Amino acid sequence: MVSLLLFVDCAIDPVSLPQWLGMGTILFLAAASWVSAGSLLVYLGGRWQFPVITILIIEACLVSPLNDNHIIRTVPPQEGSRLDVVQSFSRWYALAEKTEGAGVPHTVFVVATEGSGIRAAYWTATVLGELQDRNANFASHLFAISGVSGGSLGAVVFDALLAEPNPSSFNFKSKADDILGQDLFSPALASMLYPDFIQRFLPFPVPHFDRARALELGWEKGWRNTMKNDRFAASFVDLWKGGSREWMPSLFLNGSSVEKGKRIITTNLRLTTIFLDAEDAADRLAGYKLPATKAACNIPLSTAVNMSFRTSPFFPAGPLPGWLARS
């Protein structure tokens, strides 16, 4: 009964109860559930003289091509025009000349941040936050951040804080600590052990059972709890719509294309041939049906992070929407 209630709750609201229970409790409850269910299946197999568990395993293998529910989430498309890296740098340089004066050296920073789960996210966001707290002009000299996995999460948290209407009113490091100090991974664990586990035996996909979706919703709630808005649930491209800042650092969130083995980069800029063996996530999301200057990453900000975060089995690979249609 407890397992059934957990399954239903995680399918409806994959964030609240798992965060309340915590990862340790979820693991123990899942182990107890599996022991009970496994014992019942062994008993039925012996009573009926029928290989129940073997049949279930075979059935899961047979339906696996039909039930991939880890599809990348999207938002309604927005019209826009993407600059390439050279054009974007020219714009940054023009702003530097305008604010600091022409003919003088201008300091520019490019940040590269590695992956390592929540540790990398926390390190990236708090270090960048500390630099911004010490010097309010730091972000104006930060051209771009390139990250992968946890580093991408930290980079996005920092950029999203910069995009707030009045960023000078809060401490960046403290806000990053508040956001990333919450339990952000219990929702994904609970979904993996309950609804997404049941999904493996269904012959059709159920998007609400997706553990990657639960992970993204957990990030969105973490941001909402701290900042009292839904920026992490809003579109990735909204970060560069303009607001309180003349300059917003670009993001290069690096993932991997399982299909081709190449990097796939989620970014607000247009990739050109200077990015060797890399695919533009915006072009892939648009199905290569739009000019490269018009394609954009029309996905939630949390999904943009997760495209760099997906490493099986805990964070599963996800097909782009057009891929399923072609399949």
Compute and round to an integer the Cα radius of gyration of the chain. Answer: 22
How does DSSP assign 8-33, residue by residue? HHHHH-TTHHHHHH-HHHHHHHHHHH
Amino acid 1: pLDDT: 67
Kindly give, in sequence order, each residue whose CB lies less than 8 Å from that of residue 293, ignoring residues fewer than 6 positions away: 81, 82, 270
DSSP-based three-state secondary structure for 258: coil
290 pLDDT higher than 90:
no
Domain boundaries, the chain: 2-70+185-206, 85-183+215-326
Amino acid 189: pLDDT: 94
What count of residues does the chain have?
A: 327
CB 226 within 8 A of CB 55: no
Amino acid 321: pLDDT: 75
Please give the Cα distance from 310 to 206 (Å, whole number): 19
231 pLDDT higher than 60:
yes
pLDDT interval class at 11 (50, 70, 90): confident
| Tens-place pLDDT, residues 99-151 | 998 889 999 999 999 988 889 999 999 999 999 999 999 999 999 999 999 99
CB 305 within 8 A of CB 152: yes
Mean per-residue pLDDT, 236-255: 89
CB 21 within 8 A of CB 193: no
Mean per-residue pLDDT, 248-254: 97
Report the DSSP pairing between strands 250-256 and 142-148: parallel
For residue 278, the one-letter residue type is A
CB 225 within 8 A of CB 182: yes
Please give the Cα distance from 122 to 278 (Å, whole number): 27
Which residue, 89, 83, 85, is CA-closest to 106? Answer: 89
Amino acid 3: pLDDT: 74
Long-range contacts: 97-104, Cβ < 8 Å, 24+? 99/140, 99/246
Amino acid 271: pLDDT: 93
Please give the Cα distance from 200 to 286 (Å, whole number): 29
Please give the Cα distance from 143 to 145 (Å, whole number): 7
pLDDT interval class at 325 (50, 70, 90): very low
For residue 99, give Cα distances in angstroms to 83, 106, 108, 134.
Answer: 22, 10, 14, 20
Report if pTM > 0.85: yes
